[in-house]
Structure 1
Amino acid sequence: MGNLLCCVQVDQSTVAIRERFGKYEEVLEPGCHCLPWFLGAQVAGSLSLRLQQLDVRCETKTKDNVFVNVVASIQYRALADKASDAFYKLSNTRSQIQAYVFDVIRASVPKLNLDDAFEQKNDIAKAVEDELEKAMSAYGFEIVQTLIVDIEPDEHVKRAMNEINAAARLRVAANEKAEAEKILQIKRAEGEAEAKYLSGLGIARQRQAIVDGLRDSVLGFSVNVPGTTAKDVMDMVLVTQYFDTMKDIGAASKSTSVFIPHGPGAVRDVASQIRNGLLQGASSSH
């Protein structure tokens, strides 16, 4: 704003307050105005119409006795049609707004627990904005927007909250891991049961095949060699298998020594035991 030869310049987005002999006369819009100082006219001051922001940090206590710092951002501006009220009625606009913000926050936050305060930030901001709008409109100011930009608990409280959150996540992870291990164990047991079932079927079929083969051998030998009984044929087959087994054990380079009774009588006992075992296997497979 300039003042030269009774002329004044009012900048854009600004209004000036004109007085005559110390009494309010009018509001000067942006542009050039004639101001005859010799007739008592003067500019008392100027008022910006730009949007302004005030950040207010307020310490208060929640319902669960946690002290927090609430940071509110107030966006406001003076109204051109109420410029005289904005200029004359308030000496310190920012202090006035800060006082109202303190009052509303300290009346709202103590009703909420800490977690609820974080969740209801918008409700707190709306309460502050409504109160400011109602109070500041009488002074020629408009509250454009009110934001609760941060709620800061004590550092120890934040650390405790982080530890609680971490413990909860670890608990969930442990449950998921236990559930996964449970599923693996169930699947492993199902696999083992299926494997044993199939192994049993294989053993049963193997024994059945052995019995069928021995039966065919006995029948063929009895037909081709008259006068022999099935018992004689079985004894001969079992003795042959016995000696084949002894030969395989002796031929293996890494076989473990096996001590068994040996002799003609022992062979008869072995044959009797093998025959009884095969007959039992055949009967169980049927």
Structure 2
Amino acid sequence: MTNELNPADLFNFAVWGVIFLIIIVKLFRSIRIVSTRTALVVERLGKYQATLGPGFHVLIPFIDVVTAMQDLREETIDVPPQECFSKDEVKVEVDGVIYMSVADPVKATYGVTDYRYAAMQLAQTTTRSVIGTLELDKTFEERDMISQAVVDTLNKAGSAWGVHVHRYEIKNIKTPSTVQKAMEKQVNAEREKRAILARAEGDKQSRINTSEGTMRELINLSEGERQRLVNEAEGRASEILSLARATADSIEKIGHAVVQPGGEDAIKLNLSEKFIDNISHLSDAETSVIFPADLTNLNQLLEALDLHIEHQKG
């Protein structure tokens, strides 16, 4: 009797060994530990059974199968550059980045074959459509509007795909070199125009300030001149008033002196002295003077003056 195994026994042993190994592997694979922000989609006999969240789970071997593992964290998807035409028929090249996350693991598994590729394609078509309604200059100014339009379109489709788009950012908008040169010339022209307007406005304001300063200076000078004339007029008036008062006082004093005893003779004597003094200075004058009286008869002249004084007194 021999201890060697025949080929049939070896084959059976190998088969049972493989079956046992498969069972062990299946048992180990039926034990699943799911990490945070991760979801496992499980099918049972080809039909959706459950979505496994974070934690420890045990599946039924050979019956339950993990169909998909979805990462629930926010992820970025690069949208490759694409050619677009603006409203004024200028070709531009646009690329961007999508920030999105899986909101429903079941819809993300069964609602679309590849939600990342689908979102990228939809972002490109939406970008082309929006840029086609804008002129070239507006495409650079309306980046936020373009991004918001892409986000709205993706979220409408994403409700069926089980994903949520948080934002879409345009990275670059490239134009042909000829268009870039033309735009640079336009920008330089606009900048020069603004500089000229700024200089003109500054010169205008400077002239206005100068004219206002000159006007105020002239007003101040005229006010000063007017005040000077007023002061001079008031001074002359005060001087005339003072002279008039002094003259009135002098006349009043002379009048009182005339009525006093001997006052009349004193007045005659004073007039005679002044008359003689004035005559003594006539020799120095170059002009001829004609007197209406006989200077040889001084007493008669004084008597005529005396009569004149008496007439005033009367």
Normalised-by-shorter TM-score class: 0.5 to 0.7
Report SS of the residue matched to 1:111: coil
What letter is aligned with 2:76? Q
Q: Deviations over 1:245-276 (max 9, x none)?
A: xxxxxxxxxxxxxxxxxxx9xxxxxxxxxxxx
Corresponding position of 1:110: 132
What stretches of structure 1 of length at least 5 have no aligned partner? 237-263, 265-286
Instruction: Return the offset for 1:97.
Output: 1.2
Once the 2 structures are TM-superposed, how far is the Cα of residue 68 of structure 1 from its aligned partner?
Answer: 6.0
Counterpart amino acid of residue 142 in structure 1: V
Q: Could you tell me which residue of structure 2 aligns to residue 260 of structure 1? A: none
Counterpart selection for 2:38 from 14, 27, 34? 14
Residue number among 63, 69, 75 corresponding to 1:46 in the alignment? 69
Counterpart residue number, 1:141: 162
Residues 41 and 105, structure 2, Cα contact 8 Å, conserved in 1: no
Structure number with the bigger relative contact order (C-alpha 8 A, sep ≥ 6) is: 1
Is 2:196 the counterpart of 1:175?
no
Matching of residue 100 in structure 1 with residue 122 in structure 2:
yes
Tell me, in whole angstroms, the C-alpha distance in 2 between the residues paired with 1:210 and 1:53: 97
Q: CA RMSD in A?
A: 4.6
Shift of 1:168: 2.2
Query: Could you tell me which amino acid in structure 1 is paired with residue 133 of structure 2?
Result: K
| Secondary structure of 1:4 counterpart | helix
Give distance in 2, aligned partners of 1:73 and 1:5.
35
Q: Does 1:29 align with 2:52?
A: yes
Q: TM-score, normalised by structure 2?
A: 0.51
Return the alpha-carbon distance in structure 2 between the equivalents of residues 11 and 208 of structure 1: 105
Partner Cα distance (1:120, 1:191) in 2? 53
1:113, CA displacement in angstroms?
Answer: 2.7
Residue 158 to residue 103, structure 1, CA distance change in 2 (3 Å): farther
Decide whether aligned partners of structure 1 residues 151 and 90 sit closer, same or farther in structure 2, where only a CA change above 3 A counts. same
Identity %: 17
Deviates more, 1:178-187 or 1:66-75: 66-75
Letter in 1 for 2:127: I
Structure whose alpha-carbon radius of gyration is higher: 2
Aligned equivalents of 1:120, 1:19: Cα separation in 2:
46
CA shift, 1:183, in A, is: 2.4
Pair 202,18 (structure 1): closer, same or farther in 2 beyond 3 Å: closer
Return 148-157 or 170-179, whichever deviates more. Answer: 148-157
Aligned residues: 220
- 2:215 alignment partner in structure 1: 189
Name the aligned partner's letter for residue 11 of structure 1: S
Answering whether residue 101 of structure 2 is matched by residue 76 of structure 1, we say: yes
Instruction: Tell me whether 1:4 sits opposite 2:28 in the alignment.
Output: yes
**Do 1:48 and 1:78's aligned partners in 2 also have CA atoms closer than 8 Å?**
no
| Shift of residue 65, structure 1, vs aligned partner | 4.9
Task: Say if 2:98 and 2:165, in contact at 8 Å, map to a contact too.
Answer: no
How far off its partner does 1:101 sit? 0.9
- Larger deviation, residues 53-62 vs 182-191: 53-62
Shift of 1:24: 5.0
- Which whole-Å CA distance do the structure 2 matches of 1:53 and 1:94 have between them? 9
CA distance in 1, matches of 2:100, 2:189: 36
Structure 2 CA distance, aligned partners of 1:135 and 1:116?
27
Give the C-alpha shift of residue 50 in structure 1.
2.2
Cα distance 1:159–1:18, how it changes in 2: closer, same or farther (>3 A)?
farther
Q: In the TM superposition, what is the alpha-carbon distance from 1:172 to its structure 2 partner? A: 3.5
Residue 204 of structure 1 deviates from its aligned partner by 8.8
Q: TM-score, normalised by structure 1?
A: 0.55
For the 8 Å contact 2:77–2:116, the answer to whether it is kept is yes
With over 3 angstroms needed to count, the CA separation of the structure-2 counterparts of 1:199 and 1:16, relative to structure 1, is same
